[in-house]
């Protein structure tokens, strides 16, 4: 069964389970609710333009918090930061020796967490799971939250996923060696 993304709220909708459908410029779009259908039909170009911009914005810069074992002093943290900053696409890095967490902001179109794990391990440290916050716009109800949480939870490598309607974001704990940022955003 084909799943489509509701262009208004971003929820995954199975074609057969969709509440409604609308065709715009030769493409049929499916909707999770009458509200989303009405909003789309009132101004379809607004939602299609918004969806395109959001994908580009969301994937332009991502921050992850990666636990690291063995960084026990400021000098080792700074040395690891220098190595991580050499990675193409890395924007900001801060390794905290007290908490044992590396906070990294990067461009996912140029690099990924697998590369960070590789560099960390090459420098003699161990790492495990990572945490990230993914911005999500267009959610209107608890059903949207549940659907997004389930989609994230089904993604191989995701340990936990919690979506907050109020902050329009998802907090995800995952295994960076099993899943990348693009897969999380597509879920």
Question: pTM of the predicted model, to two decimals?
Answer: 0.47
Residue-level pLDDT at 49: 55
Kindly tell me the sign of the dihedral angle through the C-alpha atoms of 73, 127, 124, 90: negative
Task: Please give the residue range of the domain that contains residue 157.
Answer: 132-186
180 and 140 housed in the same domain: yes
User: How sure is the predictor about 82, in pLDDT bands with cuts at 50, 70 and 90?
Assistant: very high
CATH number of the domain bearing residue 148: 3.30.70.100
Domain total for the chain? 3
Are 140 and 104 part of one and the same domain?
no
In the numeric block, which tokens belong to residue 119? 């560099």
Q: With beta carbons less than 8 A apart as the criterion, state whether 116 and 66 touch.
A: yes
With a cut of 50, say whether residue 176 has pLDDT above it. Answer: yes
Report the pLDDT averaged over residues 12-38. Answer: 77
CATH of the domain at 22: 2.30.170
pLDDT attached to residue 2: 57
Which pLDDT value is given to residue 59? 56
């Amino acid at each position: 069964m084909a799943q489509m993304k509701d262009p208004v709220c971003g929820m995954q909708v199975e074609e057969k389970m969709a509440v409604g459908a609308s065709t715009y410029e030769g493409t049929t779009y499916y909707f999770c609710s009458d509200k989303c259908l009405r909003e789309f039909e009132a101004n379809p170009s607004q939602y299609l333009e918004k969806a395109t911009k959001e994908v580009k914005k969301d994937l332009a810069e991502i921050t992850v918090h990666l636990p690291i074992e063995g960084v026990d002093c400021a000098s080792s943290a700074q040395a690891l930061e220098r190595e991580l900053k050499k990675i193409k696409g890395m924007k900001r890095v801060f390794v905290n020796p007290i908490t044992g967490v590396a906070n990294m902001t990067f461009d996912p179109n140029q690099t990924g967490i697998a590369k960070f794990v590789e560099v960390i391990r090459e420098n003699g440290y161990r790492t495990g799971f990572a945490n990230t916050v993914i911005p999500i716009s267009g959610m209107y109800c608890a059903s949207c939250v549940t659907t997004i949480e389930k989609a994230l939870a089904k993604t191989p490598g995701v340990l936990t996923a919690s979506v907050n309607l109020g902050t329009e974001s998802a907090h995800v704990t995952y295994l960076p060696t099993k899943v990348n940022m693009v897969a999380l955003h597509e879920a």
